């Protein structure tokens, strides 16, 4: 379900690079088309919350004047999630108290984009301290879904996905610990890669200025095509390798229904139709799952995520107090508090449990090339930015279900460090898009992306 791109915006960055190389388009013209898209739609969608038009125009003009391409993203207009440091520009984390925080240096991903010739035009919206699957904050407001402004763009990379889907940017760089790239990609109908952990640096992505690389968290691209995601993955990771897949030789596992996370019947039907297309193309597709306790593994993921973000949680709590918001309550909030307070010894015990799961997943992917998994419980939910995430629900088959049950669907990629790519597979009659996760073995990011590109061509051939 492609969002209609405005006039002058090409389908993806690879097509743009070809047009630039052929002299059919200038980098400046491509940039101005994105600015026109922002002027047309951002008042409604509120995806891009900071712009440097003068700086971007200067970079685009330098690309046009260069005697040879600067790099693989030469002249491509890009944005970055607001929480990534960009030298000389604010990094607020969605907190009004940080409006004067100006980055002293570039984050690793911004530096990589610049080296590759990308034209960074601005930053995209986030929830405060990335602490929600909804994208809204008191500094910039709420981001809306391009396919239906009454619906959620997802979070925490909701501004990223909405900007790419609506033509405001060709590429955005998001971050993901528990689905924060994958859910927005699903909601907005774009591609989103949560790469193998550690393959792309998150330096310059900390409200505390930490130098260490965080556990579980990953930076990755949101794009309009799998080939764009593969291009940007290579730029950010420094891994220029490629992979080719033959659909007829793929052994694909299809995740069955999980008791702890119901999926809407309409979405499940779309997934089954997608699996049928793969079978018709010659792939071996069988409904199967890793032999693990998904409920316990999801609890384990949440504990380790909260241990990782414990210091940031203190900032978020102080932020909520300034906003006069009540502290989260209930079972999920209690689990968070338990994770925030883990001792190092207890963390080591949980980490050992994680490594045992990683070993099981390694065995699973020895027999399966990919695991197909829902990216959410259903299509994008109604926008509810004022409802705390621990109390928010989504309607699944006519019943209200806690939105946080969806963590079970994102757990494998997060907890076990695996590459997980969301790609669009169609949509509902209402126009809301649907996506699916392609999960692969650790380090097999290029293979996952090559499969997504091959699967996308199947859809186009129908």
Active-site residue, from 131, 166, 175, 180: 180
Burial 42-58 (b: 16+ CB within 10 A, else e): beebbbbbbbbeebbbe
pLDDT in tens, 189-236: 999 999 999 999 999 999 999 999 999 999 999 999 999 999 999 999
pLDDT in tens, 295-344: 999 999 999 999 999 999 999 999 999 998 887 878 888 888 999 999 99
Three-class DSSP category at 357: helix
Whole-number pLDDT of residue 331: 82
- How many whole angstroms separate alpha carbon 173 and alpha carbon 78? 8
- How many whole angstroms separate alpha carbon 368 and alpha carbon 389? 34
What does DSSP say about strands 218-223 and 191-194: parallel, antiparallel, or unpaired?
Answer: antiparallel
Q: Do the Cβ atoms of 117 and 72 come closer than 8 Å?
A: yes
Please choose, from the candidates 381, 447, 458, 402, the residue with its C-alpha nearest in 3D space to the C-alpha of residue 420: 447
- How many whole angstroms separate alpha carbon 327 and alpha carbon 129? 15
Residue 334 vs residue 272, higher pLDDT:
272
Please choose, from the candidates 272, 256, 251, the residue with its C-alpha nearest in 3D space to the C-alpha of residue 447: 251
Q: Which residues fall within 8 angstroms of residue 317, CB to CB, at 6 or more apart?
A: 327
Token pair listed for 95: 């907190």
Cross-strand partners of 124: 48, 81
- For the four alpha carbons of 216, 220, 224 and 227, in that order, the dihedral sign comes to negative
Q: What is the mean pLDDT of the chain?
A: 96
Q: Output DSSP code: residue 291.
A: S
pLDDT in tens, 243-264: 999 999 999 999 999 999 999 9
Neighbours of 223 (CB within 10 A): 30
Q: Is the pLDDT of residue 462 over 60?
A: no
Please choose, from the candidates 441, 406, 449, the residue with its C-alpha nearest in 3D space to the C-alpha of residue 187: 406
- How many whole angstroms separate alpha carbon 432 and alpha carbon 1? 7
Query: Look-up: residue for tokens 């330096």?
Result: 203
Q: Output DSSP code: residue 178.
A: S
Rounded average pLDDT over 279-304? 98
**Would residue 160 show up in a list of annotated catalytic residues for this protein?**
no
Q: Do the Cβ atoms of 316 and 129 come closer than 8 Å?
A: yes
Residues above pLDDT 70, as percent of the chain: 99
Q: Which residues fall within 8 angstroms of residue 319, CB to CB, at 6 or more apart?
A: 95, 97, 128, 129
Whole-number pLDDT of residue 178: 96
| Count of all residues that appear for the chain in the document | 462
Whole-number pLDDT of residue 413: 98
Residues above pLDDT 90, as percent of the chain: 92
Active-site residue, from 81, 123, 194, 405: 81
- For the four alpha carbons of 462, 152, 131 and 206, in that order, the dihedral sign comes to positive
Q: Is the pLDDT of residue 1 over 60?
A: no
Cross-strand partners of 426: 434
Whole-number pLDDT of residue 418: 98
Neighbours of 67 (CB within 10 A): 4
Provide the strand spans (E) within 41-199: 48-51, 77-81, 119-124, 136-137, 141-142, 144-145, 148-152, 171-176, 191-194
Neighbours of 287 (CB within 10 A): 12
Please choose, from the candidates 136, 77, 149, 161, the residue with its C-alpha nearest in 3D space to the C-alpha of residue 435: 161
Whole-number pLDDT of residue 459: 58
- How many whole angstroms separate alpha carbon 49 and alpha carbon 158? 12
The answer to which of 74-88, 165-179, 289-303, 381-395 has the lowest mean pLDDT is 381-395
Whole-number pLDDT of residue 460: 46
Active-site residue, from 107, 156, 175, 414: 156
Neighbours of 246 (CB within 10 A): 10
**Would residue 81 show up in a list of annotated catalytic residues for this protein?**
yes
CA angle centred on 197, ends 194 and 200, rounded to 5°: 80
Residue 203, phi then psi, degrees to nearest 5: -60, 135
pLDDT band at 68 (very low <50, low <70, confident <90, very high): very high
- How many whole angstroms separate alpha carbon 296 and alpha carbon 304? 12
- How many whole angstroms separate alpha carbon 333 and alpha carbon 278? 40
H or E stretch covering 99 = none
**Would residue 166 show up in a list of annotated catalytic residues for this protein?**
no
Q: Output DSSP code: residue 383.
A: P
């Amino acid at each position: 379900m492609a969002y209609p791109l405005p006039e002058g915006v090409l389908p993806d960055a690879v097509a743009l690079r070809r047009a630039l190389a052929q002299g059919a388009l200038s980098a400046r013209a491509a940039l101005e088309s994105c600015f026109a898209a922002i002027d047309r739609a951002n008042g409604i969608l509120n995806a891009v919350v900071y712009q440097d038009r003068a700086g971007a125009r200067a970079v685009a003009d330098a690309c046009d004047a260069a005697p040879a391409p600067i790099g693989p993203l030469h002249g491509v207009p890009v944005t970055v999630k607001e929480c990534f440091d960009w030298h000389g520009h604010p990094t607020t984390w969605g907190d009004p108290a940080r409006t004067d925080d100006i980055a002293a240096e570039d984050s690793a991903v911004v530096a990589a984009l610049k080296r590759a010739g990308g034209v960074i035009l601005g930053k995209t919206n986030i929830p405060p301290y990335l602490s929600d699957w909804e994208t809204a904050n008191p500094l910039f407001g709420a981001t809306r879904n391009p396919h239906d402004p009454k619906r959620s763009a997802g979070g925490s990379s909701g501004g990223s996905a909405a900007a790419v889907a609506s033509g405001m940017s060709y590429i955005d760089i998001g971050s993901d610990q528990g689905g924060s790239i994958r859910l927005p990609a699903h909601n907005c109908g774009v591609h989103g890669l949560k790469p193998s952990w550690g393959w792309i640096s998150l330096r310059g992505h900390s409200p505390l200025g930490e130098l260490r690389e965080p556990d579980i968290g990953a930076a990755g691209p949101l794009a309009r095509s799998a080939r764009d995601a593969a291009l940007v993955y290579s730029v950010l990771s420094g891994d220029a390798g490629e992979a080719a897949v033959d659909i007829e030789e793929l052994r694909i596992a299809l995740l069955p229904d999980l008791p702890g996370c119901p999926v809407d019947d309409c979405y499940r039907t779309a997934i089954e139709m997608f699996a049928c297309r793969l079978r018709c193309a010659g792939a071996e597709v069988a409904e199967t799952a890793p032999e693990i306790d998904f409920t316990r593994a999801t609890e384990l993921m949440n504990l380790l995520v909260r241990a990782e973000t414990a210091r940031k949680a203190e900032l978020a709590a102080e932020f909520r107090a300034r906003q006069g918001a009540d502290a989260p309550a209930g079972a999920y909030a209690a689990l968070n508090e338990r994770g925030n307070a883990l001792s190092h010894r207890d963390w080591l015990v949980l980490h050992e449990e994680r490594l045992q799961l990683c070993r099981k997943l390694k065995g699973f992917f020895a027999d399966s090339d990919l695991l197909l998994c829902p990216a959410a419980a259903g299509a994008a939910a109604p926008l509810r930015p004022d409802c705390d995430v621990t109390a928010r629900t989504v309607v699944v088959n006519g019943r209200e279900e806690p939105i946080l049950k969806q963590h079970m669907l994102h757990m494998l990629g997060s907890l076990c460090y695996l590459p997980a790519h969301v790609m669009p597979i169609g949509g509902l009659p209402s126009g809301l898009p649907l996506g699916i996760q392609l999960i692969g073995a650790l380090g097999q990011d290029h293979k996952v992306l090559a499969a997504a590109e091959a699967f996308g061509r199947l859809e186009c051939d129908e």
